[in-house]
Structure 1
Amino acid sequence: MNFFLIIDIILFTIVTLFTAYDFFFTLASFIPKKKNIQSNIKQQSFAIIYVAYKEDKIIIESIENFLCQDYPKDKYQVIVVSDQMQDSTNQALSQLPIKLIIANFEQSMKHKSLTLALENLRNFDKVIIMDADNITDINFLSRINEVTQNCKALQTHRTKKNDNTSIAIWDGIAEEINNTVFRKGHINIGLSAALIGSGMVFDFTWLKQNMKQCYTFAEDKELELLLATQNVFVDYANDIYVYDEKTSQKEILVRQRSRWFHAQILAFISLIKNFNFKKFNFNYIDKCIQWIPFPRPLRLILIILLILISGLISHSLAVKWCYLGIGTTLTYLLAIPKSMYTKDFMISIFKLPLLFIVLIKSYIASLYRVRNNDMRFNNTPHSITKDE
């Protein structure tokens, strides 16, 4: 009994601290942010890099969408790094007003494609990194130009472009909670926003100098760590959108989340291994907390399990877990944008137990990746289909 009580107190303290962290930044996301009025706005030049690894189905649509920007055509260039795509796709891309780079890597990695693209580019002000499925609004570049006049790094608001299944709905919701906690909440109190892999904007010179320091499939985390150690602020544009396809199939979600969780483990190990007091700053400290590999769904599952187990042993022990469960749930409900409270969202709540099972599978798969030192990129297939 005493042993269980000690374990119970330790677990309760840990989960409470994580919930408090999320709750604090969720509240911070509601702080009104003053808009910086820029004077003497110049038209910057942009390189927009699309990394396309086996993305024959959707890359052309994405590029055609981006080429409709209202920004001066001579001030931006779209670059597609084609990695293992069909000749017919490359032929179609070559007919568009873009720069096409054919990659030929022994082992494909996103950071390799980005480095290859940067080696072939000169004299741009900013670089924008996009995934092959990303689409934007017509004024995307104009808006980016306004907010990055004095900015080295910016994360745009990546959001769902589909909600065709319950899996896709919750994938989109998870991303919006992260936007609230790790981006909007952070910048509202002066901390850097977290990067998310696409819709990222960087100073051209900075990225060209630092991209070569990325070695894994978790290049966004590696860049984030470099920015933190150099104390470079990462801004967040909550009202500039990049529309991203959400995973709609259970099998693909397992594959995707196993890679993401593996990336978080790698990032945390790298951060601890390369810990340097000389580079100590608030953003660095925040990453030490943020990257602890204890994802939100696991916390929720742990709370539910401890409510059940504690209830069998002692009613008084279970009460505090019930309160923590309520507080955690309210925190995340508060972090979800009002626009996502739809009829489909309410219906999808009944499928949450299935989603938790899928996520547990993905975490187990990620541990296998870690054990086997599996560093393959394993891209997420893009094909929107309905649940059976």
Structure 2
Amino acid sequence: MEHILYFFDWLLYILFAINVAYLLVYSLASLRCCKPLATVPAETYKRFAILIAAYREDAVIRSTVHACLAQDYPGEKYDVVVISDHMQPETNAALSSLPIKLLQVDFEKSTNTKSLKAALEYLDKDAYDVALIIDADNIIEPSYLSEVNDAFGVAGVQVVQTHRVAKNLNTDMAYLDAISEEINNSIFRLGHSNLGMSAALIGSGMAFEYPLFYDAMMSNTSVGGFDRVLEMKLLYKGVHFHYLPDTCVKDEKIQKAQNFYQQRRRWLSAQYYSFFEFASHLLPAIRNGKWDFCDKLYQQISFSRVLLLGFVFIMAVCTSIAFPMWCLKWWGLFGILLLALIVAIPHRYWTRRIFKVIFLIPCSFFLMAINLFRLKEANKRFVHTVHGIKRVSLPFYMLSIIFCVFYPFLKIT
């Protein structure tokens, strides 16, 4: 029996070690002080379509649209296109008074994919050079479009992902979510770009050559995580994704544990769905040297950082109790994983507050582990994340965590 346990111990260790080594390599690569894409002021102004899919986003959509309209960019060279889905009549009336294109839809089963496809069918395909995807809660600076335009002025650039940063740090969960976002930026975008690999797309703050985006989206049928399927399709075609670390888009961070649970459930579902949809392309991709695609496919099947952190820690504790001679390699792996994550956190987040939010990680791990058993359901319908920055009191915040712990066991769909 001990031999069997020994075998499975090493099998799990190797699987986790590969995942940890992957994170460490790209985390260290993010420390290189260089710009992944050198740009100069573009000689021409490209025509932009800023696409904003807004499902029940009455609380945030107007500030987002106003930020888009306040660009230091020729007004005749870009259109703000809002796809209003199930928003209030007064919100639509307010948007109609602005110099934007407002497309009102009413899907029985709403998804971002359906909204974006409706916008592409509504717009003139030949009227734009670049499609820019912005979330309904995002805020962009006045220089944003000009900086993206400069990037597309570089020969060969077809897809650009900008740097998504936290718009709010009003709760400890928001602070933890902001740190998680920056770890992703360091490892999956800056680290990858510094090593010549494609940066990961993130669902918003991303720009595409318009014909390229049109063709890829019109064949996209994903329910959640349309960006996952989109990047797999484009990477398989050999398209390279560039990253602009100094061009920022502000994104609202999760404020409550309940929203964290729902959002991560959608993300995990999209992650594994895209893996199984594209797994059959792996061998042809290897034969043709499509390493960006292979790298992205591995990301889809690998553990998220919270799950990896939790499982490695549990294995280290369990082996310390049951088989002390086996535990050293697990504690060593746990230490290397911590190093990879610490290196990826920007200096500005190293405040006293970070030691406070660390205590939310066990709760986050538990919620993510529960999500592993509810992925199939999440891919059948769109799981919406409610936006709107609020001040969350401590009692309400604790109640939201308690509710979220018991929520998975309730028969709520």
Normalising by structure 1, report the TM-score: 0.95
Q: Which amino acid aligns with 2:95?
A: L
Q: 1:135 touches 1:242 (CA, 8 Å); kept in 2? A: yes
Matched residues in 1 for 2:30 and 2:326: separation? 33
Tell me the CA shift for residue 165 of structure 1.
1.2
Corresponding residue of 1:383: 388
Corresponding residue of 2:360: 351
Matched residues in 2 for 1:154 and 1:70: separation? 19
2:339 aligned to which of 310, 330, 335:
330
Q: 2:159 touches 2:209 (CA, 8 Å); kept in 1? A: yes
- 1:178 paired to 2:178: no
Q: 1:268 touches 1:293 (CA, 8 Å); kept in 2? A: no
2:251 aligned to which of 244, 249, 274:
244
1:143 aligned to which of 139, 143, 147:
147
Tell me the CA shift for residue 387 of structure 1.
4.4
Corresponding residue of 1:167: 173
Q: Which amino acid aligns with 2:315?
A: L
Matched residues in 2 for 1:109 and 1:314: separation? 49
Q: Which amino acid aligns with 2:34?
A: K
Corresponding residue of 1:225: 232
Matched residues in 1 for 2:159 and 2:240: separation? 7
Q: Which amino acid aligns with 1:15?
A: F
Q: Which amino acid aligns with 2:385?
A: T
Identity value in percent: 35
- 1:19 paired to 2:28: no
Tell me the CA shift for residue 110 of structure 1.
0.6
Q: 37-46 or 69-78, which moves further after superposition?
A: 37-46
Note the 1:23-172 alignment, pairs <5 A. Answer: 23-33=24-34, 36-38=38-40, 41-122=43-124, 123-149=127-153, 150=155, 151-172=157-178
Count of residue pairs the alignment pairs up: 384
RMSD: 1.6
Q: Which amino acid aligns with 1:135?
A: I
Tell me the CA shift for residue 284 of structure 1.
1.4
The DSSP-based 3-state class of the residue aligned with 2:53 is strand
Q: Which amino acid aligns with 2:102?
A: L
Note the 1:361-376 alignment, pairs <5 A. Answer: 361=370, 363-364=371-372, 367-370=373-376, 372=377, 374-376=379-381
Note the 1:233-382 alignment, pairs <5 A. Answer: 233-275=240-282, 277=284, 280-361=289-370, 363-364=371-372, 367-370=373-376, 372=377, 374-382=379-387
1:212 aligned to which of 218, 222, 237:
218
The DSSP-based 3-state class of the residue aligned with 2:50 is strand
2:208 aligned to which of 177, 202, 207:
202
Tell me the CA shift for residue 131 of structure 1.
0.6
The DSSP-based 3-state class of the residue aligned with 1:164 is coil
Kindly report structure 1 stretches of 4+ aligned residues shifted beyond 6 Å.
Answer: none
Matched residues in 1 for 2:367 and 2:184: separation? 19
The DSSP-based 3-state class of the residue aligned with 1:239 is strand
Matched residues in 1 for 2:306 and 2:299: separation? 15
Matched residues in 1 for 2:97 and 2:378: separation? 40
Q: 1:229 touches 1:280 (CA, 8 Å); kept in 2? A: no
Q: 2:39 touches 2:150 (CA, 8 Å); kept in 1? A: no
Tell me the CA shift for residue 316 of structure 1.
2.0
Matched residues in 1 for 2:209 and 2:257: separation? 37
Structure 2: stretches of 5+ with no match in the other structure:
395-413
Matched residues in 2 for 1:111 and 1:296: separation? 27
Tell me the CA shift for residue 39 of structure 1.
7.0
1:66-121 deviation line (CA, Å, top 9, x unaligned): 21111111111100000011111100000011000011223211111111111222
Q: Which amino acid aligns with 1:258?
A: R
Q: 1:264 touches 1:293 (CA, 8 Å); kept in 2? A: no
Q: 2:268 touches 2:375 (CA, 8 Å); kept in 1? A: no
The DSSP-based 3-state class of the residue aligned with 2:277 is helix
Q: Which amino acid aligns with 2:216?
A: N
Matched residues in 2 for 1:189 and 1:244: separation? 26
Tell me the CA shift for residue 299 of structure 1.
1.2
- 1:7 paired to 2:25: no
Tell me the CA shift for residue 373 of structure 1.
7.1
Tell me the CA shift for residue 355 of structure 1.
2.7
